[in-house]
């Protein structure tokens, strides 16, 4: 059985700083890895801030990518400024 989850793009609205948002996405990704979630859907909620949706998507894609490909696929951007605080997924 494949497990899929849906996350609202407003899930980061209660975090004020980008580092806290990055940590929250990392915790979500880690929980998904532990429970072997195959697909994560991000849906639009009442949140008007598109930056949170883009941040959530970018960090999840970054974590999904093997570490040896990350430098090639993800250039240094403001969205990945705090990528160093992310927990590695297994």
Q: Is 90 among the domain residues? A: no
Q: Is 81 among the domain residues? A: yes
Structural domain for 80, as ranges: 3-85
3-state class (DSSP) for residue 37: strand
Q: Report the C-alpha gap between 10 and 85 in whole angstroms.
A: 21
Average pLDDT over residues 37-51: 86
Residue ranges of E strands in the chain? 3-8, 37-43
Per-residue DSSP letter, 46: S
pLDDT of residue 90 exceeding 70, the answer is: no
pLDDT of residue 9 exceeding 80, the answer is: yes
pTM of the model: 0.87
Q: Report the C-alpha gap between 36 and 42 in whole angstroms.
A: 17
Task: Give residue-wise pLDDT tens across range 61-74.
Answer: 999 988 888 888 88
Q: Is 37 among the domain residues? A: yes
CATH of the domain at 74: 3.40.1280.10
Q: How many domains does the chain have?
A: 1
Q: Report the C-alpha gap between 30 and 12 in whole angstroms.
A: 16
């Amino acid at each position: 059985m494949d497990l899929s989850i849906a996350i609202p793009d407003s899930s980061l609205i209660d975090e004020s700083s980008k580092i806290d948002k990055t940590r929250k996405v990392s915790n979500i990704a880690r929980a998904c890895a532990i429970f072997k979630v195959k697909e994560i859907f991000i849906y639009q909620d009442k949140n008007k801030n598109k930056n949170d949706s883009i941040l959530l998507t970018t960090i999840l894609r970054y974590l999904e990518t093997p570490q040896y490909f990350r430098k090639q696929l993800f250039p240094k951007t403001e969205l990945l400024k705090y990528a160093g605080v992310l927990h590695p997924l297994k």
